[in-house]
Chains A and B, each alone.
Chain A
């Protein structure tokens, strides 16, 4: 029925076509005139120049025409933008959480998904929130982005008009792995979506501990395979002996339940040797003790 991926593609593309069209016309036109003058009035062809100070008619013309054109450009920009701020009342709400360096999407039933999965032709409102720094949720195919600002309730909305899979990118610089803060938007038919929502959302084949690590974006910095990304790997972490820096002093610790709780509450208190402070936020309120037990059970499996 529609040829565009979302309801905003047309408004944005129209404004682009109009402005780029006018721009290319002027760019080519003025450049051509300039080159023509340089050839026609070269010193060889035209040894004596003529002084012309001004020409009121011409000057009025080239003030008025650009003024009209920028009004037209403004109009297209405004017309394509205004609907982006008017969310329909019946929109389905999904909470989009941005966190260094992963997206997670929380549905009305409280379950999380790594990818944003939505039904075709239904308005969707994303309520944006960040736990740490600025991010920006960008869906190029839909022509929309909005900054995800900690402490501020920003939103965006759209109607998916075509089934398929689209890139979600982070467009606001957010630190080391900014360019890896990617996700997917999947548009399903209504039936497929209902099925997914009822049977698959929140039901993960993952170990419940791993599901929590994903949901809290832990694994965007701590690998499970032994490689060092930003922080120490989780592989073999449980009961490992490590050298950490505490207030500038080295000491040896063994990773146990207390140490993990402390690392979650005050991530910068002890820094494993070879890693940098200031990169992990506190999970004191987001990871409960029960969650932590699940996580520890999972860590035990990573030998």
Chain B
């Protein structure tokens, strides 16, 4: 950077005014702009989720009509997947901390970084525009399955275009991180001296770069079919609906790892910091990220076990899906082993890491149930699946993101939140979360299909329980956010390194100066987690 600025000013102070943010090339500001945007959309998504739960508190119509319900779960899914969970950790914490953790002053391609933020905003506007323009938000489910998505008169085209644009935002972020990791590591930082968060972003970025173009093209094909009647997926005009499902899941399954891997990266940072010891199996964790990213490309067919695929295809996809479980299990074992003989301080980030492990295990283990052919025939497209993916995405990735927020908070804002309230909010979140989603697993085993506006009387009790859980979760979320906002504005100054971590980001001031470090960062001897005990 050409301007020479005093390192006394932090990155908030160097320039003021909204324009200095909207067109900032500083990776930290871009990260924070993502944070504010993503949290806002998360809250919109949560509100839609709460409305759905309210509708489902009793059979029959409660607060909305069937079509509105269908549009609600579609918009909820689109927002949560494309606007919240896929960008979340890489775009917020990856942007903010990857360069700092590598000991450098910015990402490799700062202008591209700003472009991807703008694409994100434009994509988001497209998605939300369906609320006001055209024939209402799409009612297809976030999967846009053909031929329904070709036939329905709701505004599918706009939603699909939104996902298309958001895809580009994701591709550019991935590309940027790959280049940054290859080119900008601090002198002396070899691949195996990199923090595991960087490793997880590296694996994620390759998926973003290679898999996202497939969904882009597939979604454009939907638009072509709707607008010009090109017979691609609708058999009524000569297309093949199963082809659509293949193309969709070739991206969307790897996308599950775009959601999960960065979360695992955060957990691999939090646990050594609060256990004050080296991470167990550094290389195993790094390699398993890459293995998951690789094998994850070949398992998409498990979403189609009931679509009439040939028996042998079903068997191959089932075997491959079980294989992905192994590197995932290895990571869990490594995290737990890192607690052994540690000196554990149960601060809020560590609590979130533990909740992540517990809930992510439920998500993963229910995934094994769905990977088994016979069990999936029964459970596919039931509430068991809804429970399963919320455990993975929300109980796993969402909680890891909350953990990351509590972990890096003092670095970003230079202040500390109220620890007691943070722990109280955490307790509400865990209670509410499990009460909301565990009943769904049982409902699925009982045979309640997903995307059901109305249900048979035998499913009532568990639905009531789930809805009550959603209220507790909502109170927990509000408590957490209010506490963080208060901490941001008037928390006690936190200092450089409140958690006593040896990772590079804790060597600089809080908040960091524009160029990240006020003094040359020193790599820790013997690897990023080698605590001196």
Contact = CB atoms under 8 A, between A and B. Distances in A.
Interface of A: 8, 11-12, 14-16, 19-20, 23, 26-27, 30-31, 33-34, 37-38, 41-43, 46-55, 58-59, 62-63, 66-67, 70-71, 73-74, 76-82, 84-85, 132-134, 136, 138, 140-141, 143-147, 149-152, 154, 167, 169-180, 182, 276-279, 281
Nearest to B279: A53
A33 B453 CA distance: 41
Given A82-B311, A277-B153, A138 B447 contact: yes
B494 interface: no
Contact of A149 (B236, B242, B343): B242
Interface stretch (B2-10, B13-21, B217-225, B333-341): B333-341
B275 A49 contact: yes
A167 B282 CA distance: 51
Nearest to B532: A51
B374 A62 contact: no
Contacts of A47: 343
Contact of A48 (B240, B343, B366): B343
In the complex, the 4 A-B pairs of residues with the closest C-beta atoms, listed nearest first: A140-B447, A80-B374, A77-B372, A151-B235
B223 to A, nearest CB: 16
Interface in B203-260: 235-236, 240-242
Given A134-B145, A173-B148, A278-B151, A179 B378 contact: no
B478 interface: no
B292 to A, nearest CB: 14
A175 B308 contact: no
A140 B446 contact: yes
Contacts of B141: 173
A63 B330 contact: yes
Contacts of B278: 51-53
Contacts of A81: 314, 373-374, 377
Contact of A179 (B148, B371, B375, B452): B452
Given A37-B339, A81-B314, A175 B152 contact: yes
A80 B368 CA distance: 15
Interface of B: 66-67, 70, 135, 139-141, 145, 147-148, 151-153, 235-236, 240-242, 275-278, 280-284, 306-308, 311, 314-315, 318-319, 322-323, 325-326, 329-330, 332-333, 336-337, 339-346, 354, 357-358, 361-362, 365-366, 368-369, 371-378, 380-382, 445-447, 449-456, 530-531, 533
A145 B378 contact: yes
5 contacts: A41-B340, A52-B277, A81-B314, A151-B235, A279-B151
Nearest to A37: B339
A66 B325 contact: yes
A49 B342 contact: yes
Nearest to A36: B339
B325 A171 contact: no
Nearest to A78: B373
Contacts of A147: 306-308
A147 B456 CA distance: 21
B344 A43 contact: yes
A94 B281 CA distance: 57
Given A37-B344, A52-B277, A66-B329, A12 B374 contact: yes
Nearest to B68: A176
Contacts of A276: 135, 153
A27 B337 contact: no
Contact of B147 (A12, A55, A73, A132): A132
A169 B277 contact: no
Contacts of A20: 369
Given A37-B342, A59-B284, A154-B308, A144 B151 contact: no
B368 to A, nearest CB: 6
Nearest to B369: A19
B375 A12 contact: yes
B137 to A, nearest CB: 14
B241 A149 contact: yes
B341 A30 contact: no
Nearest to B373: A81
A84 B148 contact: no
Contacts of A16: 369, 375, 378, 445
B343 A46 contact: yes
B247 to A, nearest CB: 15
Q: Taking each of B141, B147, B357, B531, which has the highest tally of chain A beta carbons within 10 Å of its own beta carbon?
A: B147
B311 A85 contact: yes
A41 B450 CA distance: 43
A179 B454 contact: yes
B52 to A, nearest CB: 13
